[in-house]
Amino acid sequence: MPQSASALPRLFLASALALALAVPGASLFAAPTVAAPLKAADAAAFADIKIGGDIESFRLDNGLEVVVIPDRRAPVVTHMIWYRVGAADEPAGMSGVAHFLEHLMFKGTEKNPDGAFSKRVAAIGGQENAFTSNDYTAYFQRIAREHLPEMMALEADRMENLILTDAVVAPERDVVLEERRMRVENDPGAMLGETLDAVLYVNHPYGTPVIGWPSEISALSKDNAIAFYDQFYTPNNAILIVAGDVDAETVRTMAEDTYGKVAQRADPGDRVRPRAQRVPGALEVDLADPRVNQPNLRKAWLVPSYTTDEADNAPALDILAEILGGGSTSRLYRSLVIDQGIASSAGGWYQSSTLDDSRFMVYAVPSDGTSLEDLGAATRGVIDTLIAEGVTEAELERAKTGLLSSALYAQDSQSSLARMFGVALTTGSTIEQVRSWPGAISAVTAEDVRKAAETYLAPRPVTAYLRAPEAASAPTAKQ
C-alpha cells in the first residue's frame, strides 16, 4: 500500500535511487580494486553496456517541476503527477486525510464531473491509479502516447478545481475504512507493524499509519479534505513525470498548455517535522492474537535516509542490508535458517528513501521449538559478529552487483523508472544524486559497511514479537 514505504519491495527501495541509467556505464562497476567474484571480463562487459534514455528536467513558470524519461520501445507513456505531501504532513488528529483526499480526487470537477476523468481513461484503454505514502501522494495514467495531452489537461484541471459533496464523501470514507480492515485489522502482523512504528517514531509523524487511525478516519469531513487540498495541491508543490514514447520538448509544450495555466494556489513552505528522537531503554512490543499460528519477530533501528545522511553512510547501509538480510546468501539467512536451523526464514532491509530519518529492519520466523526470545538473541548474535569481524570482499562485491544490476534491470520498465524518480524527488533527493548513486555504491569499502553496522545497529533496536496467546501457542512439529 505503500503508504508506508516499508511495504515497498526491498529491491525497489534499493533501486529507488538507482537512476544510474543516464550515467555512462563505465562508472557502474568500476570501483572494485579487489578480486571480485565477477570475472574481469564480466565486469568489463557490464561497463560496456550503453544505457538508453536521456533524462531531462525543467521547471515551468508556476513552479511545476517536470521530468521526462524517454523510452521509445513501445508507443506508450506513463504520466504521473507527484505532490510533495504525504501522511507525515497531516495536521495532528487528522490522520488519514492525505490518503482520503487521494481517493476523493477521483470524484470530479466542474468541467469533468462525476468521475469523468476515470471514465475517459477507461474509454481510451488506459490504466490509472494513485498512491499515498508518508512523504508523497501520486496519481498516474498509463496510456497510448497520443492521449498524453488530454491526460495532462484532466490532471491539471483536478489540481485546482476539485469539487466534493457530502454525498460522495460519505461512502468513500466507508471505502477507506474497509480498506483499513482489509489491510490492517484483518491481519495481526500488520497491526503489530503499526505498533512498532508508533514506538520507533516516538515523536515523529512516521509513527502514525498512513491510512490513519480508525477513529480519526471516521471523523474526516469534506471540509478537512478540501482544506488539505487547498494547502498542498498547487503546481509549485508538484512534480510532473512523463516516461515513455516522448521527448522533452514535446512534453514541455504540452505541459505549458495545460499545467502551465494553473496558478499557484498556495505556498506550502518547508516541510519541517520534529527530528526523530532515539529514546533510551529497552523497547519491546508484543502482540498476542488468536489469529496467529506462525509467530515472528522484527527488530527496527532509526537510521539516516539518503536525505538526512550527513556522514555519507547511506550507501553503506544499502550494502549492509544486502549482506545482512538480502536473500538466501545473506548472513541472517545462512546463520539462522541454514547453519543453526532455528528459523524458517530471515532477512532484512533498509528503507533508503524518506524525507526524514528512516528505518533499518530485520525479521525472522522461528522454526518449531525455538522461542522468539532465543531467536532474537541469535539474530543479535549475527549482527554482533558482523560488527566485530566485518564483511568479506566477496560479500561486498556480491552486494554491489545486486544493487547495481537492479539499476540496469529497471530500464526495462518505464513505470518503474518514473516511480523511482518520483520517490527520490519527493523525499529530498535530486536527479543528480540519483545519477551518482552507482558511483556512491561502488565506492563503499568493507570497513564502511562494518562501521555503519557498528554506528547504527549496535544501539538497541525496537523489538516486536508476534505470537499466539499462551493457551493456543503455535503448533509443534509434526512427527
Partner 1 sequence: MGISTAAARPAARLPALWRTGLVAFAVIASLAIATVDARAVEIQTVETPGGLTAWLVEDHTVPIVAVNFAFAGGSAQDPDGKAGLANLMAATLDEGAGELDSQAYRQRLEDLAVKIGFDAGRDAFYGSLRTLTPNVDEAFELLRIAVNEPRFDAEAVGRMQRQIVSGLRREQKDPDAIASRVMSETAYPDHPYGRPSNGTEESVTALTPADLKALHGRLVARGELKISVVGAIDAERLAALLDATFADLPENADLTPVGDVTPKTGIRKDVAFDVPQTSIRLSLPGLKRDDPDFIPAYVMNHILGGGSFSSWLYEEVREKRGLAYSVGSYLVPYDHSGAFLAATGTRSDRAPETIAIITAMMTRMAKDGPSAEELAKAKAFLTGSYALRFDTSDKIASQLLGIQMEELGLDYIDNRNAMIDAVTLDDIRRVAERLLANADPIVVTVGAGAS
359: its cell numbers: 528505518
Binding of residue 379 to partner 1 (CB under 8 A): no
Residue 194's SS3 state is helix
Among 33, 61, 92, 171, binds partner 1 (CB under 8 A): 171
Contact criterion met (CB below 8 Å) for 15 and 407 = yes
Rounded CA-CA distance 302/239 in Å is: 28
Q: Write the secondary structure of 227-283 as one string of H (helix), E (strand) and C (coil).
A: HHHHHHCCHHHEEEEEEECCCHHHHHHHHHHCHHHCCCCCCCCCCCCCCCCCCCCCE
Beta carbon nearer to partner 1, 42 or 247: 42
CB environment 416-438: b (16+ within 10 A), e (fewer): bbbbbbbbbbbbbbebebbbbbb
In whole angstroms, how far apart are CA 455 and each of 150, 203, 301, 316?
51, 22, 11, 11
AA letter at 227: A
Binding of residue 2 to partner 1 (CB under 8 A): yes
Binding segment (CB under 8 A) for partner 1, from list 12-20, 271-279, 286-294, 304-312? 286-294
Among 54, 111, 161, 178, binds partner 1 (CB under 8 A): 178
Minimum separation from the CB atom of position 2 to partner 1 (A): 5
Which residues 411-440 are close enough to bind partner 1 by CB under 8 A?
411-414
Which residues 3-62 are close enough to bind partner 1 by CB under 8 A?
3, 7, 37-38, 41-42, 45-46, 48-52
Residues 6+ apart with CB under 8 A from 182: none
Which residues 291-350 are close enough to bind partner 1 by CB under 8 A?
291-294, 327-329, 334, 337-338, 344-345
Question: 340: how many CB neighbours lie within 10 A of its CB?
Answer: 15
Among 30, 144, 190, 227, binds partner 1 (CB under 8 A): 144
Which residues 97-116 are close enough to bind partner 1 by CB under 8 A?
99, 102-103, 105-106, 115
Minimum separation from the CB atom of position 450 to partner 1 (A): 20
With vertex at residue 370, the alpha carbon angle to CA 364 and CA 372, rounded to the nearest 5 degrees, is 50
Which residues 184-203 are close enough to bind partner 1 by CB under 8 A?
185-187
102 is catalytic: yes
Beta carbon nearer to partner 1, 94 or 302: 94
Which residues 218-277 are close enough to bind partner 1 by CB under 8 A?
244
Among 12, 131, 233, 465, binds partner 1 (CB under 8 A): 131
Which position among 90, 102, 155, 322 bears the catalytic label? 102
Q: What are the catalytic residues?
A: 102
